[in-house]
Structure 1
Amino acid sequence: MPLKRLTLLSIAAAVVMTAAACAPDAVRNVEAKGFNAYLDTVQTACANARLGSHPLGEWLRSGGDDSDSDYVFWLDQTSRLYYQRISVPQYRSSIAGAMGGDKANAAALDCIVRHLPADRPTKVPGGLL
């Protein structure tokens, strides 16, 4: 019996660690000072731009919430872009697809991409990857 219990505990620990690793970087990482500074820049520089029906400056100022699936998706994709896990074309395509097309969101996407730091990191601080 003790071996079976140890095996179950090991499996449970592996499942918990895997689930935590799948959480969006921007949501699980409070050490992301560079990313947070980038979001502050986007909030100021792109304040009047709109993503879908969302004014970007206000959206970032209010922070959205967990029930705002557009905000959670945007934040996750923007984190992936910042940490160079996806390319600019992949980012533009995913956001445009979720928020009403590239043409309607072009000004916001252009602004977000224009303010990306050239020397952004490739690893999430405190992350597993």
Structure 2
Amino acid sequence: MLSAFKPSRIAAVAAASVAMLAGCAPDSVRNIEAKGFNAYLDSLKTTCPNMVVGSSNISNWLRTNGGNGDDNYVYWLDQTSRLYYRRISPAQYRDSVSAALGGKSDSRALDCIVQHLPADRPTHPPGGKLL
């Protein structure tokens, strides 16, 4: 029965599985080649010091490259990626992040993040279309 599974078929199934899983990941996690987005995040370390929304310390996340298994960090990073790549508006960003992190929609941290968006930012990550 195992002889029916040829190596080429197994490789094709494995490749399809990896492609499907990559499509489910948030933009910010899926695309390690997002140099513009990464540079934007790096710039926030100095332009927006002491960012806190609710009980989440965004500045600390940026200094330590995120939280270990912190769902709030993953959500914030994905929403910030969506904002950067123009998939959501600044108002949608403020509403979604403040609701998820328990902060006010007029948070100084969110204002700073939005104010420092590059004007010439792209509409999708490098290397392909957004799903």
Q: TM-score, normalised by structure 1?
A: 0.83
Cross-structure match for 1:64: 66
CA offsets per residue over residues 2-59 of structure 1, 9 Å max, x none? 69xx888766644432221121111121111110110011111111121222333222
The size of the alignment, in residue pairs, is 128
Contact 1:84 1:121 in 2 (8 A): yes
Cross-structure match for 1:45: 47
Greater helix fraction, Structure 1 or Structure 2: 1
| Correspondent of 1:33 among 12, 32, 35 | 35
Give me the whole-angstrom Cα distance separating, in 2, the residues matched to 1:47 and 1:55.
10
Give me the whole-angstrom Cα distance separating, in 1, the residues matched to 2:103 and 2:36.
29
SS of the aligned residue for 2:107 comes to helix
Give me the whole-angstrom Cα distance separating, in 1, the residues matched to 2:96 and 2:78.
11
Letter in 2 for 1:100: G
Structure 1 consecutive aligned stretches of length 4 or more whose deviation exceeds 3 Å: 6-16
Deviation (angstroms), 1:82? 0.3
**29-38 or 94-103, which deviates more:** 94-103
SS of the aligned residue for 1:102 comes to coil
Aligned runs of 1:5-20 on 2, under 5 Å? 13-20=15-22
Q: TM-score, normalised by structure 2?
A: 0.82
